[in-house]
Amino acid sequence: MLQATPLTDGWILRHEGAELPAAVPGCVHTDLLAADVIPDPFLGLNEREVAWVGRRDWTYETDLDARSAHEQTDLVFEGLDTVAEILLDGQLLGRVRNMHRSYRFDVTGLSGRLSVRFASAYAEAEAVRGKLGERPAAYAEPYQYLRKMACSFGWDWGPTLVTAGIWRPVRLEHWSTARIARVRPLVTVEQGAGVVELAVDVERTRVEAPLTVEASAGGVRARAEIDGTGGVVRLRVPDVRLWWPRGYGEQPLYDVELRLLHGEDALDVWRRRIGFRSVELDRGADADGTGFTLVVNGERLFARGVNWIPDDVFPSRVTRERYRRRLEQAADAGVDLVRVWGGGIYESGDFYDACDELGLLVWQDFPFACAAYPEEQPLRGEVEAEARENVVRLMPHPSLVLWNGNNENLWGFRDWGWEQRLAGDSWGEGYYLGVLPRVVAELDPTRPYTAGSPWSGSWHRHPNDPAHGTHHSWEVWNREDYAEYRGEVPRFVAEFGWQAPPAYATLRRALPGEELAPDSPGMLHHQKADDGNGKLRRGLERHFAGAVEGDFDRWHYLTQVNQARAVAAGIEHWRSHWPVCAGTVVWQLNDCWPVTSWAAIDGDGREKPLYHELRRLYADRLLTLGVRELAIVNQGTEEWAGVVRLRRMSVEGALLGEASVDLSAGRRAVARVGVPKEMAPVGPKEFLVADADGVRAVHFPVPDREVPYPRPEFDVALVPGGVSVTARTLVRDLLLQADRLDPDARADRGLVTLLPGEEVTIGVSGWKTPDAAAARSALYCMEPSR
């Protein structure tokens, strides 16, 4: 039987005569941090102090003894970041240049000093650029010239920390006769039965040895002969339970085992978990354009999505537990789809395992983002090799439902001046419309592929045409008020978002000793977006003009309110237009360091108000209220029938009118009812409230700066497990910033609007010394204009 020996101990890191202990898996930055050679680049302005690390060459070394009683021993690297040569006692084993691939070297019978010499990623990228010519990109760093995590070079939410190292596990594999080189599982459903077709490739030391594979799943077993170096074994599992996205059913998973046999002797074994489900992408034309609707097990879905970036700029630090925690946060917010964005990585199996278990659909980008990528060698061969490996690696996961060729590159070619600058040079089209769809069609025909996001499906239309395929809505954040989200109904909104700073405790940790202000040195350094603070300021001025001058705490609160309201404006509108619009994917769920960004969960894992707002926006039941119309959104499995209570209120708390409206929305459907004319708010002092079965919508017809809010009055009391707030006036967008009470404290809800006499209990965990006065000091809400 194949034996694997992890190589985790005894590594050192060498650089210019210095020698440090090294952690494997890991990277140069984390080793330098552990040895106190560099300061924490996440704190203050330290990112600048460590920029030199990415410009240097580094060597990892350890002693290797590959002697074994087996016929062959392989040295296996699951991931090397990025450009390296591997030597044993000075003899070259091989050279590598792709972070997204694994590597295997025959070291049978050898022993000695193993060295992995990493060249600077900058040097490699600049060399390729010099050979192939300049290509345009959204950022000045040369990330498109090598197969490495693009956001390692910085992004409009991330630091420039260009890594190197053995970032995934490394091991020795000892084996005899033959081993399993690859298993490609095709999982389908036929007339209630689950079908698993396992295409097996083997590597041999003995050509003549007769080999058999035996597979099992769901109590069914089957055998097949290996003809040369490959074979296929097929299982048909009767009466399987279907795997469903969360909210649509359960997520049963089946263990699949495949053993490679020589006679009855087991030589190697491959084990995975699979789920039985069907997935389609409906891109049919209709009266509204060209659709983009995911269909799982025949059920058409409105995708409630978030974009995922690497959860740490040093991905080797992201543990299985951290993946699980972050994805549970997504699921708890009502999310059912996670898009793995193309400027990052193919995540580890731990990520996809958690998505399988939680019922989170995965949209997987191939790692191309916001740049023109050369298609010549050496890149072209690397792209196909990495795609082939990762398609097969991720195929067993039922959560994976879509392959996407790139992020914004087709759009960039058409709209960002690339076509003229390239003057006929290659830029990646051959990958997105040639190599990648061919690889997916050959290896994983059970899943749909789309060439890019955004992509209208044809060069005959603008790539970002909202009426066709996927759409990225960035004009609103960049130039307009978030009310403009309501001006169109895209078929699928794959990116949109609004910025806000991280939680207060996160800022205090990241900027120790700094007097916080929107434009203080650390705040500006931890704001990577082009004119990010200007866009935040203009967004506030449209709603709260003059309200935050010189008051950081108020600015911090209002920017977070604006983020939640902006995303709400989009999702409420687009969900109310299902099935024309078939999904929203918020930019973004998470952060890779402490930064002002579009994330719902900040770089320290703390939930912003946006996170809690997503729980409302992505709930099965949602009310969307305007002056003339109420939309009843029901994504549940049962009809939603009942009565909506409408109230026309004054900001002083008076009830000015009341009406009851029957509601009836079928399963997975949207219904609309008119708001009686007499209920329409008149002037800035009035607003409208709709309540049905515990679901509330509130509509103010004018911006906050025009609303004559009363001075908020409310009572605060400690209750078991939290804080109770009772309103004596209108209290709009009340927020308990629990991390101001204790850095470890978390509140179980975000923004809440209370009418006079209403009470809310906010659960608080992790608060070591509860105190009512402290709780009051951490409560924020809308106040009269200053």
The string of pLDDT tens digits covering residues 294-313 is 999 999 999 999 999 999 99
Identify which of 451, 387, 505, 407 has the alpha carbon closest to the alpha carbon of residue 156: 407
Residue 465 structure tokens? 């045409």
214 Cβ contact list (under 8 Å, min separation 6): 221, 222, 223, 233, 258, 259, 261
Mean pLDDT of 561-580: 98
Nearest to 226 by CA among 217, 209, 207, 213: 213
With 80 as the cut, is the pLDDT of residue 748 above it?
yes
Residues 6+ apart with CB under 8 A from 259: 213, 214, 215, 266, 268, 269, 270
Is there a single domain that holds both residue 322 and residue 412? yes
Amino acid at position 596, single letter: T
Per-residue model confidence (pLDDT) at position 547? 56
Terminal Cα-to-Cα distance of the chain (whole angstroms): 76
Structure tokens at 97: 């240049």
Structural domain that includes position 213: 177-274
**Contact present, 601 and 590 (Cβ < 8 Å):** yes
Confidence of residue 17 (pLDDT cuts 50, 70, 90): confident
Map 710-744 to HEC letters: CCCCEEEEEECCEEEEEECCCEEEEEECHHHCCCC
Rounded Cα–Cα distance for residues 778 and 564 (Å):
19
Show which of 614, 644, 679 is a domain's final residue. 614
Report which of 119, 133, 164 is spatially closest to residue 315, judged by C-alpha positions.
Answer: 164
In a domain, 267, yes or no: yes
Q: Does some domain include residue 225?
A: yes
pLDDT score of 546: 67
Model pLDDT, residue 16: 81
| pLDDT tens-digit map of 665-714 | 999 999 999 999 999 999 999 999 999 999 999 999 999 999 999 999 99
Tens digits of residue pLDDT in 421-463: 999 999 999 999 999 999 999 999 999 999 999 999 999 999 9
Round to whole Å and give the CA distance between 300 and 447: 16
pLDDT of residue 771: 94
Say yes or no: 434 and 451 in one domain: yes
**Residue 484, domain member (yes or no):** yes
Residue 22 pLDDT greater than 70, yes or no: yes
Tell me if residue 573 falls in helix, strand or coil: helix
Identify residue 399 by its one-letter amino acid code: S
In terms of domains, do 112 and 154 share one? yes
Match 């190292």 to its residue by tokens.
165
Please pick, among 141, 347, 408, 572, the residue that the annotation labels catalytic.
408
State how far the Cα of 251 lies from the Cα of 309, in Å rounded to an integer: 25
The residue written with tokens 């992408």 in the block is 281
Same domain? For 221 and 161 the reply is no
Distance from C-alpha of 136 to C-alpha of 413, rounded to nearest angstrom: 9
pLDDT band at 15 (very low <50, low <70, confident <90, very high): confident
Residue at 462 is within a domain = yes
Overall pTM > 0.95: yes
The pLDDT score that the predictor gives to residue 155 is 98
- 631 and 726 co-located in one domain: no
Examine the domain organization and report whether 149 and 204 are in the same domain.
no
Report the mean per-residue pLDDT for the chain: 96
- Shared domain check, 729 and 691: no
The 10s digit of each residue's pLDDT in 704-744 is 999 999 999 999 999 999 999 999 999 999 999 999 999 99
- Does residue 743 sit within a domain? yes
Write out the two tokens for 52: 């030199």
Phi and psi, residue 668, nearest 5°: 55, 40
Amino acid of residue 235: L
508's enclosing H/E stretch is helix 504-510
- 341 shares a domain with 219: no
Confidence of residue 785 (pLDDT cuts 50, 70, 90): confident
What angle do the packed helices 436-443 and 379-394 form, to 10 degrees?
A: 30
Residues 215 and 261 reside in one and the same domain: yes
**784: cis peptide before it, omega within 30°?**
no
Q: Structural domain tally of the chain?
A: 5
Place of tokens 């003809």: 227
Per DSSP bridges, beta strands 400-404 and 361-365 are parallel
Please state the rounded mean pLDDT for residues 378-384.
96
The CATH number that applies at residue 698 is: 2.60.40.10
Burial of 212 (0-12, 13-18, 19+ CB in 10 A): middle
CATH code for the domain in which residue 728 is found: 2.60.40
pLDDT in tens, 208-251: 899 999 999 999 999 999 999 999 999 999 999 999 999 999 99
Tell me: do 443 and 361 sit in the same domain.
yes
Joined together, the tokens standing for residue 371 give 């740049």
Buried b (16+ CB within 10 A) or exposed e, 276-300: bbbbebebeeeeebbbbbbbbbeee
Identify whether 395 is part of a domain: yes
DSSP 6-59: E--SS-EEEETTEEEE--SS--HHHHHHHTTSS--TTSTTHHHHTGGGGGS-EE
Write the CB contacts of 130 (distance below 8 Å, at least 6 apart in sequence).
Answer: none
Residue 713 and residue 702 share a domain: no
87 lies in the same domain as 21 = yes
* DSSP-derived secondary structure for 405-441: --BSHHHHHHHSSHHHHHTT---SHHIIIIIHHHHHH
For range 633-657, the mean pLDDT: 96
490-520 pLDDT, tens digit per residue, is 999 999 999 999 999 999 999 999 999 999 9
321 is an active site residue: no
What is the pLDDT, as a whole number, of residue 728? 97
pLDDT reading at 614 higher than 70: yes
pLDDT of 609: 98
- Going by pLDDT thresholds of 50, 70 and 90, the confidence category of residue 786 is low
